[in-house]
Amino acid sequence: MWKYTFIIQPLKFIFSIIMKRPISTILCMSIIFFLSACSHNLQSPTQEIYTLVQNGTPLQEISNQNLSLPNDIYNGQVLKYFRIGDVLLALVLRSSMNIGLSLPTVNTETTFGWILIAKTWSTQWSKLIEIKDSNTDISSKNSPFYLTLDEQKRLLLTVVDHNGGWSGEGIMKVFILSPKGERILQSCYYFGTNLDSNGIDTIEKYLAYSIDFATHTPEPITSCQNTVAISYL
């Protein structure tokens, strides 16, 4: 769906002005707009996000934009939404011992976490990145918690499992989302908090707390290697 957006949206715009402009103006405006849109969107989604980050475009947490979700994702799985430029991103959680989600039934299985993508004019989300446990013999329930930008103009993703010593705790992986789609593990921490500590009284605060890196205990990078499979679609 994403790859057709840059064609569909310009065509909608062109059609909307046909009824209002002389034919010569329509033709010129249509050609210029269509070529500009096509040129801008020749980039892959990850390259487009990278360009926005490098240009200093701010990343903002936003509210639910009420776009249609893929059929295998439930509303209760998505609690964090972001915007950078005209790109929207949503993080899809997995139900775990750390996170109780509002799902259709108690036995509803959430096998993967996801990062979803859309444009500000979109009506539905598309899947961008799949997040799952590397070792299927161990139920780690890795979930994407939060997105942030660092001082080096890199987009970081925190991913936390439920393999901590207490409820709410786990091992946190911090990944750099690169323009070429590589999985770059930047750092590893013990995520040692829960909904009843550090002033955290909502699940939204709990997720955002993951980017307060100074409060988490650093772990050897080897503790986080080969634990999460991240695939760009």
Mean pLDDT of 199-216: 90
Strand partners, 59: 84
Per-residue pLDDT at 84: 98
CA–CA gap between residue 172 and residue 39 (Å, rounded): 38
Q: Which residue has the higher pLDDT, 107 or 152?
A: 152
pLDDT at position 81: 98
Looking at the predicted structure, is the pLDDT value of residue 18 above 70?
no
- Can you give the pLDDT at residue 217? 95
pLDDT for the residue 232: 79
Nearest Cα to 34, choosing from 8, 65, 3? 8
pLDDT at 14 over 80: no
Higher pLDDT, 106 or 68: 68
Q: Cα dihedral angle (206, 89, 91, 171), rounded to 10 degrees?
A: -70
Residue 55 token pair? 């240009």
Q: What is the pLDDT of residue 24?
A: 57
pLDDT digits (tens, 9 = 90+) for 208-226: 999 999 999 999 999 898 7
DSSP for 68-108 reads BPPTT--GGGEEEEEEETTEEEEEE----SS-----SSTT-
pLDDT at 26 over 90: no
Choice among 11-20, 61-70, 95-104, 177-186 with the minimum mean pLDDT: 11-20
Q: Of all residues in the chain, what percent carry a pLDDT higher than 70?
A: 77
What size, in residues, is the chain? 233
